[in-house]
Chain A
Amino acid sequence: MNETTKKNTMDIVKAKLAKRYAREQRFRAYGIVAISLGMLFLVMLFVSIISQGYGAFFQTYVKLDVEFSAEKIDPQGKRDPEALSSGDYGNLVKESVRQAFPEVTGRTEKIQLYKLVSSGATYELRNRVMANPELIGTTQSVWVPADDDVDMLVKGHIDRNLPESERRMNNQQIGWVEKLENAGRIEKRFNLVFFTGGDSREPELAGIWGAAVGSFYTLLVTLALSFPIGVATAVYLEEFAPRNKWTDIIEVNINNLAAVPSIVFGLLGLAVFINLFGLPRSAPLVGGLVLTLMTLPTIIIAGRAALKSVPPSIREAALGVGASKMQTITHHVLPLAMPGMLTGTIIGMAQALGETAPLLMIGMVAFIVDIPGSAFDPATVLPVQIYLWADSPERAFVEKTSAAIMVLLGFLIAMNAIAVILRKRFERRW
Chain B
Amino acid sequence: MKKSVILAAALSTILSTSAFAASRDAINIVGSSTVYPFTTVVAEQFGKTSKFKTPKIESTGTGGGMKLFCAGVGVEHPDMTGASRRIKKSEFDQCQANGVKDVIEVKVGYDGIAIANSKKAAPFALSLKEVFLALAKEVPDPSSEAFKLIENPYKMWNEINPALPASKIEVLGPPPTSGTRDAFVELAMEGGCDKIDAIKAEKKTNEKNHKRICHSIREDGVYIEAGENDNLIVQKLDANPNALGIFGFSFLDQNSDKVQGSTIDGVLVNFDAIADGSYPVSRPLFMYVKKAHIGTIPGIEEFLAEYTSEKAWGDEGYLADKGLIPMPTEERKKFADDAKNLTPLSM
Contact = CB atoms under 8 A, between A and B. Distances in A.
Interface of A: 111, 115, 119, 123, 158-159, 162, 165-168, 200-202, 221, 224-225, 227-228, 274, 277-282, 285, 363, 365-370, 375-376, 378, 390-395, 398
A279 B19 CA distance: 10
A367 B45 CA distance: 13
A391 B10 contact: no
Contacts, number: 109
B337 interface: no
A368 B26 CA distance: 11
A127 to B, nearest CB: 10
Contacts of B255: 393, 395
A12 B221 CA distance: 58
Contacts of A394: 254
Contacts of B28: 281
Interface string B297-332: 000000000000000000010100111000000000
B189 interface: no
B89 interface: no
A285 B17 contact: yes
B265 interface: no
B338 interface: no
B6 A224 contact: yes
Given A162-B257, A365-B59, A368-B54, 18 more contacts: A123-B48, A165-B256, A201-B40, A201-B41, A224-B6, A224-B10, A228-B6, A278-B18, A279-B21, A285-B17, A366-B58, A367-B56, A367-B58, A369-B54, A370-B26, A390-B231, A391-B228, A398-B231
B3 interface: yes
B37 A392 contact: yes
Nearest to B119: A166
A159 B257 contact: yes
Contacts of A368: 54, 56
Nearest to A228: B7
B36 interface: yes
Given A280-B20, A285-B13, A167 B256 contact: yes
Contacts of A224: 6-7, 9-10, 13
B53 interface: yes
19 contacts: A119-B318, A123-B48, A162-B257, A167-B256, A168-B254, A168-B256, A201-B41, A221-B13, A228-B10, A274-B76, A278-B18, A280-B24, A282-B58, A363-B58, A366-B57, A391-B33, A392-B37, A393-B253, A393-B322
A365 B58 contact: yes
B216 to A, nearest CB: 28
Contact of A393 (B20, B24, B57, B230): B230
A10 to B, nearest CB: 62
A282 B48 CA distance: 21
B274 to A, nearest CB: 16
B43 A390 contact: no
A378 B56 contact: yes
Contact of B43 (A159, A363, A367, A376): A367
Contacts of A227: 6
A278 B21 contact: yes
Contact of A201 (B6, B10, B53, B322): B322
A224 B9 CA distance: 8
Nearest to B9: A224
A390 B229 contact: yes
Given A158-B257, A370-B53, A200 B44 contact: yes
Q: Size range of the interface on B?
A: 35 or more
Contacts of A167: 256-257
Contacts of B262: none
Contact of B10 (A225, A281, A367): A225
Given A111-B316, A277-B17, A279-B17, A369 B44 contact: yes
A167 B254 CA distance: 9
B17 A393 contact: no
A158 B41 CA distance: 24
B47 interface: yes
B124 interface: no
B22 to A, nearest CB: 9
Interface string B251-271: 101111100000000000000
A393 B257 contact: no
Contact of B57 (A221, A285, A367): A367
Contacts of A285: 13, 17
Contacts of B37: 201, 392-393
A393 B58 contact: no
Nearest to B46: A369
B291 to A, nearest CB: 21
A66 B59 CA distance: 39
Contacts of A111: 316
Contacts of B40: 201, 367
Interface in B32-66: 33, 36-37, 40-41, 43-45, 47-48, 53-54, 56-59
Given A201-B41, A280-B21, A367-B36, A378 B26 contact: yes
A74 B10 CA distance: 48
Contacts of A166: 119, 256-257
